[in-house]
Homo-oligomer: A and B are copies of this chain.
Amino acid sequence: MTDKYQARRAALLEEIYELIDKEGYEALRVRYLCGRLGISTGTFYHYFPEKYELHQLLYRRIDEYFQQRVQPRFTDDEAANLMLFAECYGEYCMQTGVAATRCFMALPLQPQGDELISDRRPISRLLEGILERGKSKGQFRCSYSTRDCARYTMVVLRGFCSDWAKRDGGYDLVEVIRRFFPISLTGLQG
């Protein structure tokens, strides 16, 4: 049954995320992973035909997180929404763990050049929505286009998260974002 398959896959994935968190993606060897999961390599490949699939899923997950958990909390104040967006981005990284953050912040692009980091991903469109509405409400008055502002925001946020991962998660990322992201916010508000 496909449902059963999907359920088992999802269950394994949860455990796998924890292990990626502890060990990192590249360092996580399939054999070791299977040992920790208590399954055979054959079973692993039954559910994840390629190791790389694990990596891809990290990207999809943040999209889901933002669509399901963050978006509903948006209000009419777009500056506040942007701040929430930033905080949640950090929160997600902290929940995901250092190693996984490192991996999905930093891993070289995949050969196929797929759309994983594309600006067209749901999370990017969410961000553009905030900025768009903010502009029309007069909350953001900087001269850059919505697209440019979104990209700048993502660049800065990824900068924060990378730093946090580089320093092995040795501080409270959300707090740092809450403290320093306003510098960027000021710039965006013009």
Contact = CB atoms under 8 A, between A and B. Distances in A.
Contacts of A190: 186
Interface string A77-101: 0000000000000000000000100
A127 interface: no
A11 interface: no
Contacts of A168: 109
Top-6 shortest CB links A-B: A159-B159, A106-B106, A183-B187, A155-B159, A186-B187, A187-B187
B166 A109 contact: yes
A107 to B, nearest CB: 7
Contact of A163 (B102, B155, B185, B188): B155
Interface in A150-178: 151-152, 154-160, 162-163, 165-168
A117 interface: yes
Contacts of A151: 163
Contact of A148 (B180, B186, B187): B180
A24 interface: yes
Interface size class of A (residues with CB under 8 A): 35 or more
Interface of A: 24, 26-27, 99, 102, 105-109, 117, 142, 144, 148, 151-152, 154-160, 162-163, 165-168, 180, 182-188, 190
Contact of A108 (B102, B155, B188): B102
Most chain B CB atoms below 10 A, which of A107, A158, A165:
A158
Contact of A183 (B27, B105, B142): B142
B160 A155 contact: yes
A85 to B, nearest CB: 15
B108 A183 contact: no
A156 B156 contact: yes
